[in-house]
Amino acid sequence: MGLESNKTLGGIGAILMAIGFLGFFGSAYVGFLVLVGAILVLIALKGFADQYQEGGIFNNALYGFITVIIGAVATAAIFIVLVLQMLATIEIYWTNPIAVQQYFMDNLNAIWSLAAGAIAAWVVFFIFMVASAVLVRKSLNSLSEKSGEKIFGTAGLLWLIGAVLSIILIGFIVVWISWILIAVGFFSIKAASVQPMPVQPAPPPPPQPPQ
């Protein structure tokens, strides 16, 4: 793909990620846009990695996205296991809301156990998210250096700061802002900044034997 195709895919992908993030506060189905957007961004980064002959642009981003996905799956698995273990020890009729309410009012330890499980799961996700942000920042820094668009470096720094601040949730807003900057960066890349693939010179013809 050419420069314009990569710019368009990357810019649209970053915008879809930003819109999908906002969708989590409305319809969960809109969050599917985050996945679609991430795929488009990765395709664009692969294109730029080939054009700039810098594999780290794509590889670090790919590893970063894989890391955060693994973290999300591990977090969900830990939380579900802890909840199921807690529920297995409770002998009440779950179809009776009054009995359920009365149980938790009389057994605050169960609530604290659930809260502790949620915190443990969240810490696991936090660790994976920071590791993912480090990789994504490396990718964006490489793209910034090769393209000359410094906004990618700023976006990578904001992504890392947002990941660190995600422990108090406000960090997700910072990450969302970084996606907007990434979209602007893609649309701002100029053709002159793309280095053409080198053309290997044709080998000289073999010497002719003397007649």
Q: Is the pLDDT of residue 205 over 80?
A: no
In a domain, 78, yes or no: yes
One-letter amino acid at 173 equals: I
pLDDT at 21: 78
Specify the residue for token string 């802002």: 177
In a domain, 196, yes or no: no
Can you give the residue range of the structural domain that contains 26?
3-191
In a domain, 161, yes or no: yes
Residues with Cβ within 8 Å of 179's Cβ and at least 6 positions away in sequence, in order, are: 14, 15, 17, 18, 21, 155
Residue 113, CA distances (Å) to 83, 84, 108, 118, 157 in order: 9, 12, 9, 9, 36
In a domain, 68, yes or no: yes
In a domain, 126, yes or no: yes
**Distance, CA of 90 to CA of 101 (rounded, Å):** 13
In a domain, 211, yes or no: no
pLDDT at 136: 95
Q: Could you report the per-residue pLDDT of 155-204, keeping only the tens digit for each? A: 999 999 999 998 887 888 999 999 999 999 999 998 754 555 555 565 66
- Counted domains in the chain: 1
Specify the residue for token string 């964006």: 140
pLDDT at 201: 60
The CB-side HSE value for 120 (13 A sphere, CA atoms) comes to 13
In a domain, 210, yes or no: no
